[in-house]
């Protein structure tokens, strides 16, 4: 059920330069599944789609961790506790829970990391083993939620483009290692499209690989057909899929990466 809501900001943190996490009080949004998102009114003509970094059903709270990239996110990042936000949600399809008997690994790049944290919060203790988390960023300062993942008992592997923390390079190398040692493992990934393309390539032939995508979005509810990406529809024919309602989480075999 999609709601049009006015919800208060109850807490605001700055976890990394240019990043802000806002906690919202909302029983409706707290019913979200990890990977789902909400569409928030800012100053511009379009709402801003932002996924949840935390979903706390018990306390009726969610959090959104956003990166300031333009005017809309700049406005949102400047809002303080007490402000009421105009929010539509929950929207889209979230991740499916991992199979209890399978190992799972989460791969996050930059501001794609937050929805993975919500997934580990929801399911991290229900699986056979605590998940491995591979986090990548351009620089160590831009790594998000590392301590939080560790606090949940995850094995955290870090890569940075400039080598300031963890392995230098992309998430590919540690992901290859993990896939080699976990032939039946599942992967949940969110991040820049080139990263998702390599996750899809490296996991080809496996099942239960979930990728969360981002795209410029219009209506958020499937009407305007703005936020499309190439993929295979229900008929199996190649075409465009809507990130807002067919996704934002897709099975890797649904997508076509050029």
Partner 1 sequence: MKLSVNLPRGLVLKNPIVAASGTFGFGPEYKDLVNIGDLGGVSVKGVSPEPWPGNPPPRVWETTGGLLNSIGLQNHGVEAFCAHDLPFLRDTGTAVIVNIIGHTVEEYQRVAERLAKEPGVSALEVNISCPNIKQGGMSFGHDPDQAYLVTQAVRKGSDLPMMVKLSPNVPSPAVIAEAVQSAGADMISAINTLVGLAIDKERRRPALGGTTGGLSGPAIKPIALRVVYEVAQRVKIPIIGMGGITTASDVVEFLMAGAHAVMVGTVTFQYPRRMQEIVAQLPDELLRWGFSSVQEAVGAALPSKRGGLFDALT
- CB of residue 213 to partner 1, shortest distance in Å: 11
Q: Among residues 171, 167, 168, which one has the least CA distance to residue 191? A: 171
Q: Between 17 and 230, whose beta carbon lies closer to partner 1?
A: 230
Distance CA 150, CA 85 (A): 31
Give the separation between CA 64 and CA 159, rounded to whole angstroms: 23
Q: Applying CB under 8 A, does 219 fall inside the site for partner 1?
A: yes
3-state secondary structure 8-66: EEEEEEEEECCEEEEEEECCCHHHCCCCCEEEECCCCCCCEEEECCEEECCCCEEEEEE
Nearest distance from C-beta of residue 203 to partner 1, angstroms: 24
Q: Per CB under 8 A, does 216 bind partner 1?
A: yes
Binding window for partner 1 (CB under 8 A); candidates: 20-28, 58-66, 149-157, 210-218: 210-218
Smallest separation, CB 245 to partner 1 (Å): 8
Position 193 contacts partner 1 (CB under 8 A): no
Give me 236's structure tokens: 């199996």
* 151 scored as a contact of partner 1 (CB under 8 A): no
Q: Of 41, 96, 173, 197, which lies in the binding site for partner 1, with binding defined by CB under 8 A?
A: 41
- The size of the interface with partner 1 (CB under 8 A), counted in residues, is 27
Answer yes or no whether residue 68 interacts with partner 1 by CB under 8 A.
Answer: no
Residue found by looking up tokens 């333009």 in the block: 70
Distance from chain centroid for Cα 239: 24
For 161, list phi and psi in degrees, rounded to 5: -60, -35
Binding track over 114-133 against partner 1, x by CB under 8 A = --------------------
Under the binding rule (CB under 8 A), the answer on residue 256 touching partner 1 is no
- Contact present, 140 and 164 (Cβ < 8 Å): yes
* Residues that bind partner 1 in the complex, under the rule CB under 8 A: 1-2, 4, 41, 44-47, 72, 88, 215-229, 239-240
């Amino acid at each position: 059920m999609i709601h049009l809501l006015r919800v208060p900001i109850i807490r605001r943190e700055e976890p990394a330069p240019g990043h802000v996490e806002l906690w919202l009080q909302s029983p409706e949004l707290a019913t979200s599944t990890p990977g789902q998102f909400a569409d928030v009114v800012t100053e511009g003509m379009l709402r801003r789609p932002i996924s949840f970094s935390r979903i706390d059903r018990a306390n009726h709270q969610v959090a959104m961790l956003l990166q300031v990239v333009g005017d809309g996110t700049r406005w949102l990042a400047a809002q303080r506790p007490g402000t009421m936000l105009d929010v539509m949600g929950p929207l889209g399809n979230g991740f499916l829970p991992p199979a209890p008997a399978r190992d799972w690994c989460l791969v996050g790049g930059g501001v794609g990391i937050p929805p993975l944290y919500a997934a580990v919060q929801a399911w991290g203790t229900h699986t056979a083993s605590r998940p491995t988390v591979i986090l990548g960023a351009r620089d160590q300062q831009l790594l998000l939620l590392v301590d939080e993942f560790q606090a949940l008992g995850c094995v955290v592997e870090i890569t940075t483009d400039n080598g300031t923390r963890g392995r230098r390079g992309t998430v590919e190398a540690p992901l290859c290692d993990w896939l080699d040692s976990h032939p039946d493992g599942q992967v949940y990934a969110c991040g820049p499209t080139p990263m998702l393309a390599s996750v899809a390539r490296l996991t080809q032939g496996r099942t239960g690989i979930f990728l969360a995508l981002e795209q410029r979005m219009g209506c958020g509810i499937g009407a305007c057909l703005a936020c499309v990406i190439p993929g295979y529809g229900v008929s199996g024919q190649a075409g465009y899929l809507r990130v807002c309602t067919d996704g934002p989480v897709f099975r890797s075999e649904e997508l076509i990466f050029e």
